[in-house]
Structure 1
């Protein structure tokens, strides 16, 4: 392969990118913009759930119970409501997402050591948030039960409240969250967004760049030139790999600097793995460009083969073990899952080559296979 001819093709492609404002925007602005939009718009944290309370008892005990929810950071208290009919209207209009109904004689029954039932209404239109809200309510109610039992036991046994708490809870559970101690969803999402954006952007640029040659007819200059198909592909794709490599750095800075995602691993290993992943996704764009003839078709096909795997079969929103057997098989056949393991390992777990080399090896295999297939499918002769 002649380096001078490769450089000439690469320089020509770079000039085309810089001259076309729309293409320049797609190359340099859109990836960072997607990072900002997804980073600020996508959150799995469930906090400040709008809550209203109906207190039919108006006792000291009912107020203490209600304030457990009012003072919690997981609920945003919207006020007391007089009856359940008003709650129905507030839930239907989405003014609130949860409600607590405290029955009459709540405090009297607790003072007598009797059980009392508290009703909870949760908006189930968002199942994930509804189940999380139910978990918050259950946890706060369990804490209230423990305090009530401890108080009654202390009175009956004549012991201190601290001793009573120890008696009703002989085994104390302590939970420690590893790798993401604050359990912030953005710390997990920001690294995975790198995978999503780098799965979408390089194939789009590559597919459009090659297909544009077909639509404009300039591809015939390549057909008649002395440049070989390997030199043409290397020169044609090199600018997109360089642009995507620059986008890796920009996205990394946004994840760490803007969204405060911790980066605990080796930066050199991360960049090397990301470069291999970019070469892999660029190869996807190459295959699309060989298969279609128009830029519209290239955009549609690229969107199908990149967006769906990046979102559904990569572990961004749903862990791979939680998928069905068929979905897990699809995930293992696509490169997105392997790069997700790498970014999560580098950002949150602080692991490097010793733990992630199998994923890196798979990505390298994908890149080699995709470019080999693209090379074999591309011919310096127009299809008739």
Structure 2
């Protein structure tokens, strides 16, 4: 029995002396419960909306204040005309627009009924439907509060309009998210094991004594996966259009170009992982565990980022899939041009260059 406890003690010493093991055993559960606890929710909060108030009377002012005071909405902008609604939606910042017609309070007082229009961005159908339900509930609460004990109650009708996806098809949100997830995981995971495989099989020595520069070796590793990823891009787009019925409302060339840029970013990240790891198992572990959860949880694909606390929203900015998901949804579903997505394209370009330069610097020209 004493020998058994000696072995247990020895194993504890091994674990406590290895900071990476301690991080996995104690740090990972804490990180996962925090991320899942704050991100895994069907509730939509802090959604940015705009208001077009053509009446500007007592009733609309009180109703706007009640909507803005709820935790579900943040009124980002007050619009002046109906034509500006589509332009606001295409910026991607506004999730819904509430339109009050002229004479809202007058109709309510004289005819005991009025109308409100809710226009939602249905490129994400779940969020659009949830926001419309929240707004309707707030309007109904206001209606009940002002009705009091009147014999003829006030009635506020809400007209709901879903832009870009009137049928509320889930594929409109599913396709951009799957594109981001597939390209990120496949490209990164495949390239992450390329240089490591050379180290483990012993062929890296042949490459290092050759006259080929490290830059060319690194780029040569990525070229085959880039070509195969272009095939994946075309197959995903064809399946989306002809099988799932998701239209490409924007420029096809712009969509393909941005997809190639995101592929290059993923390949550069995979090469960086491959350069800093010593085994294929470690490279695959980092690619799967280290990238799968952030891609799914923090890209906006599964859960709205605005629901999350500020630290997670800040962390989401370093997830390449977040920017690509925004671009694909804007170009493919909303039909926007380069002028409205240039910031996201610039971020992806910067990430791609950063990962590529870092992977070249980390590439060891001598074997230990």
Structure with a larger share of its residues in strand: 2
| Match in the other structure for 2:265 | 280
- Aligned pair 1:353/2:315, yes or no? no
Aligned to 1:330: 315
1:305 Cα deviation from its structure 2 partner: 2.5
2:234 corresponds in structure 1 to 249
- Which residue of structure 2 aligns with residue 364 of structure 1? 349
> Aligned-pair distance for 1:169?
5.9
Match of 1:268 among 231, 253, 256: 253
Matched, 1:187 2:172: yes
Q: Which of 294, 302, 310 is the matching residue for 2:279?
A: 294
User: In 2, distance between residues paired with 1:379 and 1:295?
Assistant: 16
Alignment of 1:45-124 (within 5 A): none
State the alpha-carbon separation in 2 of the partners of residues 200 and 169 from structure 1: 55
Task: Name the SS for the 1:172 alignment partner.
Answer: strand
Q: Is 1:239–2:211 an aligned residue pair?
A: no
What TM-score comes out, normalization by structure 1 length? 0.56
Provide structure 1 residue ranges, at least 5 long, that are not aligned to the other structure: 1-43, 45-127, 143-155, 157-166
Structure 1 SS opposite 2:211: coil
Judged with a 3 Å threshold, the aligned counterparts in structure 2 of structure 1 residues 187 and 365 are, in CA distance, closer, same or farther, namely same
| Match among 287, 296, 301 for residue 311 of structure 1 | 296
Q: Is the 8 A contact 2:193 2:283 kept in 1?
A: yes
1:279 CA drift (Å): 0.5
Q: Secondary structure at the match of 2:166?
A: coil
Structure number with bigger Rg = 1
Measure the CA separation in 2 of the matches of 1:230 and 1:333.
Answer: 25
Equivalent residue runs for 1:4-43 within 5 Å: none
Task: Give the CA deviation at 1:172.
Answer: 2.0
SS at match of 2:156: coil
Alignment of 1:137-216 (within 5 A): 170-216=155-201
CA distance in 1, matches of 2:238, 2:198: 34
Q: Is the 8 A contact 1:203 1:282 kept in 2?
A: yes
Distance (Å, rounded) in 2 between the aligned partners of 1:175 and 1:241: 44
C-alpha contact (below 8 Å) 1:277/1:339 kept by paired residues: yes
Q: Which residue of 2 aligns with 1:92?
A: none
Extract unaligned runs of 5+ from structure 2: 1-41, 43-125, 141-150
| Aligned-residue offset at 1:247 | 0.9
Query: Structure 1 residue 373 and structure 2 residue 364: aligned?
Result: no
State the match for 1:223 in structure 2.
208
**Secondary structure of the equivalent of 2:157?**
coil
Deviations 1:36-75 (A, max 9, x none): xxxxxxxx9xxxxxxxxxxxxxxxxxxxxxxxxxxxxxxx
Post-superposition offset of 1:381: 1.0
Deviations 1:149-200 (A, max 9, x none): xxxxxxx9xxxxxxxxxx7564321010111111111221112110111110
Alpha carbons 1:191, 1:255 under 8 Å: kept: no
* SS of alignment partner, residue 171 of structure 1: strand
Q: Which string of whole-angstrom CA distances, capped at 9 and with x for unpartnered residues, describes residues 83-136 of structure 1? A: xxxxxxxxxxxxxxxxxxxxxxxxxxxxxxxxxxxxxxxxxxxxx9xx98xx79
Equivalents in 2 of 1:257, 1:200: separation in Å?
Answer: 25
Q: 1-side partners of 2:251 and 2:310: how far apart?
A: 33
Q: By how many angstroms is 1:278 displaced?
A: 0.4
